[in-house]
Structure 1
Amino acid sequence: MRNLSASLLVIFAALSIAGCTRENDAGTLLGTLEWDRISVPAEVSEPVTQILVKEGDNVAADQLLLVLDPRRTQAQVDAAQADVARLSAALDELRHGARAETIDASRAALARAQAGAVNAKLARDRAAEIRKRGLNSQADLDNADAALRQANAETNSARASLDELLHGTRVEDISQGEAALAQAQAQLAQLQVTLSHLSVHATRAGRVDSLPYKTGDRPAQGASVVSLLVGDAPFARVYVPETMRANLKQGARFKISIDGAAAPFDATALRIASEPTFTPYYALSGDDASRLAWRAELALDASEKTKDLPAGIPCRALLATSEKH
């Protein structure tokens, strides 16, 4: 009889503890503290030459964080600048037209071609006369005809070149020159932006969370070289069970408890996912283990105590109304 009484007492105590646990857990949401993260990618694959910060440092907006080797990109910028200068000079030449010396040289070339054509005609006439007498072959006459045609073609070419210089540059040629120059200038501007990004600056004020590469490493193009935690305060990423989802709204106030913190932190529900997800392993308990949960983000009120809280630590969120009740 005494053993039966002791057994009943143990069972009653266990049921009481289980009931208290379920009651305490009814309004508690489990999750982790997180910060908004910004990743700064590598514009090109170049070795890291300098790292000016370390993980955990607080940095200001536009502060220099690290430097990638700029020599290759600087050479490309220099080549693009030379190409812009060349195309700019060519466009100026098109706009200003030919120089007087160039026109004089073209006239002299035409006179030389005309003189050659005159001599070729005389030679052809002599060959034709001799052929009539039967003193030369037909091949000699054919060669003289070919020489005359070639001399006339050279004369026509020289005359066309002179006419082109005298009539000036066509509008279409100037338009093509302007387009080529604009393309070269755009390429130069793009390379200059890439060169400036080899000096990696903080895009926002925050705290350095991760520096995955060391001096001498060559990150791949697009790889994150710096990860920053930004914002005035972290947020709690928690999971809302099905039993609480219907009554939980954005703007609800919570108390966030963290192991090691003397007092809970105030927080506000910012976002609640519209689609459910399976409850993560650290939020599984009892009958709730098989239920769906909705991910929610609770923004902690910014203060001196919250600005240095680390990311990833477990936390517990309790609705402020539930706590008072």
Structure 2
Amino acid sequence: MEIVRILMIVSVLFLLTACDSGSTSMALGSLERQRIALTATTNEVVVSLPVAQGSQVTQGTVLVQLDDTLQKANVAKALADVAQATANYEKLLKGAREEEIAAARAKVSGAKATLQESEANYRRIASMAKDNLASKADLDRALATRDSGVANLDSAQEQLRELVAGSREEDIRFALANLDATEAVLAGEQKKLADLTIRATRDGILDNLPWNLGERVTQGSPLAVVLAGKAPFARVYVPEPYRVKVSVGDALLVHVDGVDQPIEGKVSWIANEPAFSPYYALNQEERARLMYLAEVQLPDSAAQLPSGVPAQVEMP
């Protein structure tokens, strides 16, 4: 009988403990902030670290400066290429200068005068050849000189027409495409130059500067880590029985170690999939052990709370 009485007492205590633990169910976790890692886009030397670790920073604050000597030279060359392409494009748009057209007209006039002289000389030699006063060789030379004058006149007239007509449409399009290409290269080089100045992309706390002054960084490595946002959020694991009771936007009480009063926060995100074993592989009792990762954002009044502190969120 004594053994039966002891077993009954143990059973009652077990039930009381289970009921008590169920009435004070908590989602356990810790305070966190979003970690923004700013990485290096090239291998360069750190020349300046203007902000100390742990400082509050705002968007646009310079955190790390890499050596930009070589990249500034690349930008200068790209600027020169753009200037050259712009000048060529504008030259084709404007066409020939008045002085060039005037010179071409003068050349045409000179070719006409030369042709008139060679034509008169040819007729004179031809008349003399009929009277056997000029040889056939003289006649051939006079004819060749006249034909050369005709060709020179045609060439001068074609050059004048080309200058008056202006640049070909195809040449203008080619020059414009070349200008666009050089401007695109310039934009890329300027972007590379800007990337050598590491700036904060969001307000927050400068958590870490992995590289020291004077070190040559490796491409793709983090140069600065910023904990974004004013107040932290509680990243907790919601037990499976409470998953259907928790939705984005719900107000929940958050208990933080070292803070006497609970802080009201709002659920900003909750996972749709459990963090551990898939539910379809478990029975009803085992499914109750599943956990769903959730984030509960604290108000701005809790901005002074550090990250990494344990926190518990009361379940509804």
How many matched pairs?
288
Match of 1:188 among 167, 170, 186: 186
C-alpha distance in 2 between matches for 1:291 and 1:157: 95
Give 3-state SS (helix, strand or coil) of 2:245's partner.
coil
Structure 1, unaligned runs of 5 or more? 123-128, 131-150, 280-286
Paired residues for 1:293-312 under 5 Å: 293-303=291-301, 306-312=302-308
1:243 aligns with 2:236: no
1:23 aligns with 2:15: no
CA contact (8 A) 2:92 2:172 kept: yes
C-alpha distance in 2 between matches for 1:40 and 1:230: 12
Q: Deviations for 1:191-246, whole angstroms, at most 9, x for unmatched residues?
A: 2233233222222221012222222232315x432221122311111112222222
Deviation of 1:291 after TM superposition, in Å, equals 2.9
Q: Deviations for 1:158-217, whole angstroms, at most 9, x for unmatched residues?
A: 775554234321233223323322332233233223323322222222101222222223
CA contact (8 A) 1:278 1:291 kept: no
Change (3 A) 1:318 1:162: same
Q: Which residue of 2 aligns with 1:79?
A: 77
CA contact (8 A) 2:63 2:198 kept: yes
Q: Which residue of 2 aligns with 1:61?
A: 59
Give 3-state SS (helix, strand or coil) of 1:85's partner.
helix
C-alpha distance in 1 between matches for 2:219 and 2:17: 55
Note the aligned Cα RMSD (angstroms): 4.3
1:218 aligns with 2:217: yes
Deviation of 1:298 after TM superposition, in Å, equals 1.1
Give 3-state SS (helix, strand or coil) of 1:311's partner.
coil
Structure 2, unaligned runs of 5 or more? 123-135, 138-148, 278-284
Q: Which residue of 1 aligns with 2:314?
A: 318
CA contact (8 A) 2:240 2:288 kept: no
Identical aligned residues as a percent: 34
Match of 1:52 among 47, 50, 53: 50
Change (3 A) 1:23 1:217: farther
Give 3-state SS (helix, strand or coil) of 1:219's partner.
coil
CA contact (8 A) 2:241 2:288 kept: no
Q: Which residue of 2 aligns with 1:265?
A: 263
| Amino acid of the structure 1 residue aligned with 2:227 | L
Paired residues for 1:135-154 under 5 Å: none
C-alpha distance in 2 between matches for 1:227 and 1:177: 45
Q: Which residue of 2 aligns with 1:42?
A: 40
Q: Which residue of 2 aligns with 1:125?
A: none
C-alpha distance in 1 between matches for 2:177 and 2:310: 60
Deviation of 1:108 after TM superposition, in Å, equals 9.2
C-alpha distance in 1 between matches for 2:151 and 2:19: 105
| Amino acid of the structure 2 residue aligned with 1:20 | T
Change (3 A) 1:17 1:226: farther
Give 3-state SS (helix, strand or coil) of 2:273's partner.
coil
C-alpha distance in 2 between matches for 1:275 and 1:154: 87
C-alpha distance in 2 between matches for 1:70 and 1:261: 47
Give 3-state SS (helix, strand or coil) of 1:246's partner.
helix
TM-score, structure 2 length as denominator? 0.71
CA contact (8 A) 1:91 1:178 kept: yes
C-alpha distance in 2 between matches for 1:35 and 1:155: 83
Q: Deviations for 1:14-72, whole angstroms, at most 9, x for unmatched residues?
A: 97378536633661111121112323333443222111122211112222211111112
Give 3-state SS (helix, strand or coil) of 2:300's partner.
coil
CA contact (8 A) 1:219 1:225 kept: no
Change (3 A) 1:210 1:21: farther
Q: Deviations for 1:236-290, whole angstroms, at most 9, x for unmatched residues?
A: 11112222222333343333223333333222222222222217xxxxxxx7698
TM-score, structure 1 length as denominator? 0.69
CA contact (8 A) 1:47 1:219 kept: no
C-alpha distance in 2 between matches for 1:308 and 1:289: 37
